[in-house]
Amino acid sequence: MIARTIGAALTLALTAITANAQAPSWTVPAESARCPSKWGAADERGSMNHQKPAAVQKAAQLIKSGEVIELAHVLGPSMAFFGTRRFDVHTKRTFMNQFSNMRGSNEEIIITELGQVGTQFDGFAHQTHLDSWYNCVKVDENSARDGFKKYGVHNVGALFTRGVLIDVAGFKGVEMLGDNYEITVEDLEGAMKKQNITLAAGDAVLIHTGWGKLYGKDNPRYVKSCPGLGVKAAEFLISKDPMLLGADNWPVEVAPNPDKQLSLPVHQLALVVNGVHLLENLKLDELAQKGVSEFAFVMQPLKIQGGSGSTVSPIAVR
């Protein structure tokens, strides 16, 4: 075969007609402003650069009683799904191996958006601004039919770091924040002061909104909207240099955004602009009830080759 050399140039010209519309309250920084990322032009790890032995040592020192608190919901067809996602389990018939020990074998075939269902970790391949990912890699360069070439979740590795719970619902004195309540910087600062905690670089920062009470109980309401971080609150947390931001709601951030021109801007702010991972649909009721503010956070994303994220079952250990 004679090799063909193809130079392909993709230009996407965007002409947004904005007459009569207010400017949106937040815009994705220009590529020149956000790339290279603070971790360097070739970086693919973003906030996971914090995952070093020192982070593990620090977290291990928080383990005292040995109590493990699970932070994941059960994975099944009746959990809350965003859009058309699903988790279908089809058990196979018991297969009987016809040997003297008559060994029956069972298994199941599962069909799911494995990177984006249940308690779930977001990699950087999940989100773009237009055709551009974290560190300004382009969609067409990075996409294949069977996985993403860069930022695949198989490269992330385990998280073992200090975890902090910021109990905003507790601070506000409610079981659950309102259906589209935007968490503010003041809420975060107030809750941390009340809990007597501070943030450090490399922390896994988990936000308790109480919204998780609806998960599996009232799924339509759970996914229709949710309380969560606003852009300002997310910028505040990101300025503390965390390893990830997580919450007991489906997008970490408030949804829909109060600015109707914006679609989940914190996703772009965290994943595209700053290279900070997100963790969604956490089960945080037990941590909050027990008043646990600080713990060893351990999470093992599946090593899905080229995956956009991974369903996970993280734990808090103290």
In the region spanning residues 294 to 313, those forming contacts with a copy of itself, defined by CB under 8 A, are 298-309, 311-313
State the minimum distance, in angstroms, from the CB of residue 252 to a copy of itself: 14
**Contact letters (x/-) for a copy of itself, 271-290, by CB under 8 A?**
--------------------
DSSP 185: H
2 part of the interface to a copy of itself, by CB under 8 A? yes
Stretch in the footprint of a copy of itself (CB under 8 A) among 10-18, 191-199, 219-227, 242-250:
10-18
Instruction: Say which residue the tokens 């620090």 belong to.
Output: 58
Instruction: Using the minimum distance from each CB to a copy of itself, give the nearer residue, 170 or 228.
Output: 228
109 part of the interface to a copy of itself, by CB under 8 A? yes
251 part of the interface to a copy of itself, by CB under 8 A? no
144 part of the interface to a copy of itself, by CB under 8 A? yes
33 part of the interface to a copy of itself, by CB under 8 A? no
DSSP 226: B
221 part of the interface to a copy of itself, by CB under 8 A? no
DSSP β-ladder status, 315-317 and 68-70: antiparallel
Instruction: Using the minimum distance from each CB to a copy of itself, give the nearer residue, 12 or 41.
Output: 12
**With contact defined as beta carbons under 8 Å apart, do 297 and 50 qualify?**
no
Binds a copy of itself by CB under 8 A, chosen from 31, 36, 38, 57: 57
Instruction: Using the minimum distance from each CB to a copy of itself, give the nearer residue, 53 or 173.
Output: 53
125 part of the interface to a copy of itself, by CB under 8 A? yes
Q: Which residues, in sequence order, are bridge partners of residue 298?
A: 160, 315
State the minimum distance, in angstroms, from the CB of residue 235 to a copy of itself: 15
The verdict on whether omega for the bond into residue 314 sits within 30 degrees of 0, i.e. cis, is no
217 part of the interface to a copy of itself, by CB under 8 A? no
- Supply 262's token pair: 């914006």
Q: Which residues of 80-106 are buried (b: 16+ CB within 10 A; e: fewer)?
A: bbbeeeebeeeeeeeeeeeeeeeeeee
Instruction: Say which residue the tokens 């103290």 belong to.
Output: 318
Backbone angles phi, psi at 160, to 5 degrees: -145, 95
- Supply 250's token pair: 């489906």
Instruction: Using the minimum distance from each CB to a copy of itself, give the nearer residue, 57 or 198.
Output: 57
State the minimum distance, in angstroms, from the CB of residue 43 to a copy of itself: 19
Interaction with a copy of itself in 77-106: which residues (CB under 8 A)?
Answer: 77, 84-86, 88-106
State the minimum distance, in angstroms, from the CB of residue 22 to a copy of itself: 8
175 part of the interface to a copy of itself, by CB under 8 A? no
Binds a copy of itself by CB under 8 A, chosen from 41, 42, 146, 173: 146
DSSP 36: S
Residue 274 identity (one-letter amino acid): N
| Residues in the chain, overall count | 318
Residue 87 identity (one-letter amino acid): F
State the minimum distance, in angstroms, from the CB of residue 13 to a copy of itself: 4
Instruction: Say which residue the tokens 């099944």 belong to.
Output: 76
Treating both helix axes as pointing N-terminal to C-terminal, what angle do 231-238 and 185-195 enclose, rounded to 10 degrees? Answer: 50
**Rounded distance, CA 188 to CA 57, Å?**
27
